[in-house]
Structure 1
Amino acid sequence: MTELLKSWLSQGPSGHQLISFNHHDIVTGERFATQVHHLHKQLVASGEQRWLLACDSSDQFAVGLCAALLAGKQLILPANTQSGTLSELAHEFDAVLAPQPLCEGKSFLALEKEFSQPLAPWPQLPTDSDFGELILFTSGSSGSPKAVRKTLRQLDAEVTVLEQTFAKHLPHCSVIATVSHQHIYGLLFKILWPLAASRPFLSDLVEYSETLGYYTALFPNLCLVSSPAQLSLLADALGVERQIHTPSLIFSSGGPLSLETAQNIRQCYGSLPIEVYGTTETGGIGYRRQHSVKTLWRAFAPMVLDVDPTDNALLLRSPYLENDQVLRCEDKIMLVDKDLFRLEGRLDRTVKIEEKRLSLTQMEGLLNNHPWVQRSHLVLLEAPSQQLGAIVELSDYGKQQLAAEEKLSINNGLKAHLLTQFERVTLPRHWLYVDKIPTNPEGKLLRQEILQLFNHD
């Protein structure tokens, strides 16, 4: 297996490589190398080893990423920069790389575009030094954020496989994305893979169908990196009408893509999206183009799949993992052939809301810490779309507040509490306040009775 990413990171871009672009600016390899050089110099001079990296602009994020990896630093990538999230991770980092200071009492280096810096070469990694590493955080089944370590070797293995699998579909493509690079999917597909394969990427996030239309008209070959919810909204915005200008390839990941959305995107753009299945821990496991509800997933070439005979949980051996041990995943699968499989649901309390992985246990823990709440339970409601429902036993203080104020005020107060750690799109849409959450004599929750309460709400 070739070391595509490691080779690029060791040598740096050519001066004429187009790194990134938006509607008013481009970044060439020469300019990118200069920015990385100067930031790398500051990082090497700094005594701090653990740096939180957060930036909305993908080109500046990439500068911070490359400079820190070359300086041998450990990078902490938060899922978001909300106060509760940063507070929970504060013990994980010593300093911040961002456009502005995010935490009091932490060292800070600014990520900002500098046009007046003297040209400088790509930093060289000392022969006796190692590249830095990344730490991402994902919702663990226990409710606490779980640290996931990614070395350059792991990331390089995945980037190389992506190029070997899909390069023939990407002739001279530019890459644009509707997903954030702060998560593993966007990090790989929008930043690391394009850099290593010399494909320019859009430095901004695509938020509107008009923006996508502008760039598809501008670039004859374009790769769109998106998600199921965003592709569904895109198809609706386009009226499921055939478009004159189309992306060469569309990727979707972060959750299940409905057959209807897959077919609607084909109606708009003439080809089915490529769905990628995986997690933060595992990286990409398999891919498919969903021709029908029976379409199977195909494992990426290096994957070795098996199933746990007790509950059909996926057992995975992969070069993307830290070691060669078999990893048990909490996804239930049916293994049709050694590299063909069908997904059959989750086995734990981690769910996806708007493609964002969420631990129901973690959110319940935060809810239960509110003075209005005695106990809470979250359920995933499937109709009319996947949404969270919250059933809450109020404390005596909470009951007083509910009697004094409208239910909407209580809802909003609890939502504001959850917003300290969770993004708005993941919050419960339905709220029930009950004297007692339905349980059996052994204290086990009665799921069907709980769902019935929401049906009658």
Structure 2
Amino acid sequence: MTELLKSWLSQGPSGQQLISFNHHDIVTGGLFATQVHHLHKRLVTSSEQRWLLACDSSDQFAVGLCAALLAGKQLILPANTQPGTLSELTHEFDAVLADQPLCEGKQYIALKKELSQPLAPWPKLPPDCDFGELILFTSGSSGYPKAVRKTLRQLDAEVTVLEQTFAKHLPHCSVIATVSHQHIYGLLFKILWPLAASRPFLSDLVEYPETLSYYTALFPKLCLISSPAQLSRLPEALGFERQIHTPSLIFSSGGPLSLEAAQGIRQCYGSFPIEVYGSTETGGIGYRRQHSADTPWRAFAPMVLNIDPEDNALLLQSPYLEDNQVLRCEDKITLLDKELFRLEGRLDRIVKIEEKRLSLTQMEGLLNSHPWVQQSHLLLLEAPRQQLGAVVELSAYGKQQLAIEGKLSINNGLKAHLLSQFERVTLPRRWRYPDTMPMNAQGKLLKQEIVQLFDHD
């Protein structure tokens, strides 16, 4: 297996390589190398080893990423920059590399485009250079953020496999994304893979269908990195009409894409999106183009799949994991042969809301800390559309406030409490306040009765 990413990172881009672009600006390899050079110089003289990395602009994020990896630093990538999230992680990092100061009392280096810096070469590395590593934080089943360590070897293995698997479909493509580079999917597909394969990427996030149409008209060959929630809404926004200008390839990851959405994308763009299944811990495990409801997944070439005979949980061996250990995943699967499989649902309390991984246990813990709440239970509702439901047994004080202020005020107060750690799109949309939590004589939750609370609005 070639070391595509490591080779590029060691040598740097050619002066003429187009790194990134947006509607008013481009970054060439020469400018990118200069920015990385000057930031690397500052980082190697800093005693701080653990740096939080967060930046909205993908080109400046890439500058910080490359400079820190070359300087042998450890990079902390938070799931979001909500104050509660950063507060929970504050002991995990010593300094901040970002486009704005995020934490008081920590050393801070601003990521911003400096056009007045003297041109400089890519940092020269000693032969025995130890590259830095990344730590991503994701929702653990225990309810606490779980640190996932990614070495350059692991990231390189995945970038190389992606190139070997899909390069024939991506001749001289530019890459645009509707997803954030702060998470593993966007990090790999929008930043690391394009850099290593010399494909320019859009430095901005595509937020509107009109922006997407603008770039598909501008670039004859385009690769779109998107998510199920965004792709599900896109056909309606495009009027379910066949588009004159279409991306060469569309990727979707972060959660299940409905067959209806896949067919809608094909109707508008002429081809099915490629869905990638995986997680922060595992990286990409398999992919498919969903032609029908039972289209199986195909494992990426280096994966070795098995199942736990007790509950059919996926047992995975992958070069993207440390020490090639066997990892038990909390996804139930049916193994059709050594390469093909079907997903049969989750075995734990981690869910995806708008492609954002969420621990129900963690959110319940925060809810239960509010003085209005005695206890709570969250569940994923599938009808009339997928959304989070909250069943809350209020404390005596909470019941008093409910009687005085009304349900809407209580809803808004609890949502404001959750916003200290969770993004707004992940919050419960439907709330129920029974006098007591439905339980049996043994103190076990009566799941069916809880679900029935949402039968009528």
TM-score, scaled to structure 2: 0.99
Note the 1:115-194 alignment, pairs <5 A.
Answer: 115-194=115-194
Distance 2:35 2:3 in 1: 24
Partner of 2:102: 102
Q: Is the 8 A contact 1:9 1:66 kept in 2?
A: yes
Partner of 2:51: 51
1:105 is aligned with what amino acid? Answer: G
Match status 1:365 vs 2:355: no
Partner of 1:406: 406
Tell me the secondary structure at the aligned position of residue 15 of structure 1.
coil
Q: Which moved more, 1:55-64 or 1:123-132?
A: 123-132
Distance 1:376 1:96 in 2: 36
Query: 1:235 Cα shift?
Result: 1.1
Distance 2:226 2:324 in 1: 31
Identity of aligned residues (%): 86
Tell me the secondary structure at the aligned position of residue 171 of structure 1.
coil
Distance 1:241 1:314 in 2: 39
Tell me the secondary structure at the aligned position of residue 331 of structure 1.
strand
Distance 1:79 1:240 in 2: 33
1:123 is aligned with what amino acid? Answer: P
2:41 is aligned with what amino acid? Answer: K
Distance 1:49 1:311 in 2: 42
Regions of 4+ moved over 6 Å: none
Query: 1:384 Cα shift?
Result: 1.4
Q: Is the 8 A contact 1:376 1:393 kept in 2?
A: yes
1:87 is aligned with what amino acid? Answer: S
Tell me the secondary structure at the aligned position of residue 10 of structure 2.
helix
Q: Is the 8 A contact 1:70 1:124 kept in 2?
A: no
2:69 is aligned with what amino acid? Answer: L
Give CA-to-partner distance per residue, 1:358-413, whole Å, 9 cap, x none.
Answer: 00000000000111111000011001111000000111111121111021111001
Note the 1:297-336 alignment, pairs <5 A.
Answer: 297-336=297-336
Note the 1:77-96 alignment, pairs <5 A.
Answer: 77-96=77-96
Note the 1:214-225 alignment, pairs <5 A.
Answer: 214-225=214-225
Distance 2:126 2:70 in 1: 9
Match status 1:420 vs 2:420: yes
Note the 1:185-334 alignment, pairs <5 A.
Answer: 185-334=185-334
Q: Is the 8 A contact 1:71 1:125 kept in 2?
A: no
2:144 is aligned with what amino acid? Answer: S
Match status 1:33 vs 2:45: no
Distance 1:310 1:124 in 2: 53
Query: 1:129 Cα shift?
Result: 2.9
Query: 1:456 Cα shift?
Result: 2.6
Partner of 2:67: 67
Query: 1:274 Cα shift?
Result: 0.2
Distance 1:431 1:75 in 2: 38
Query: 1:74 Cα shift?
Result: 0.2
Distance 1:385 1:182 in 2: 27
Distance 2:375 2:249 in 1: 47
Gaps of 5+ in 1: none
Query: 1:128 Cα shift?
Result: 3.1
Distance 2:124 2:179 in 1: 31
Tell me the secondary structure at the aligned position of residue 454 of structure 1.
coil
Partner of 1:8: 8
Distance 1:128 1:264 in 2: 51
Distance 1:273 1:8 in 2: 28
Partner of 2:395: 395
Q: Is the 8 A contact 1:51 1:96 kept in 2?
A: yes
Give CA-to-partner distance per residue, 1:147-195, whole Å, 9 cap, x none.
Answer: 0000000000000000000000001000000000000000000000000
Q: Is the 8 A contact 1:53 1:64 kept in 2?
A: yes
Distance 1:396 1:74 in 2: 47
Tell me the secondary structure at the aligned position of residue 344 of structure 2.
strand
Query: 1:434 Cα shift?
Result: 1.5
Q: Is the 8 A contact 1:176 1:190 kept in 2?
A: yes
Query: 1:125 Cα shift?
Result: 2.3
Q: Is the 8 A contact 1:184 1:280 kept in 2?
A: yes
Distance 2:237 2:128 in 1: 54
Query: 1:126 Cα shift?
Result: 2.3
CA RMSD of aligned residues (A): 0.6
Distance 1:246 1:110 in 2: 37
Distance 1:123 1:398 in 2: 59
Distance 1:435 1:19 in 2: 58
Distance 1:367 1:387 in 2: 17
Distance 2:381 2:152 in 1: 39
Distance 2:336 2:124 in 1: 47
What is the total number of aligned residue pairs between the two structures? 457
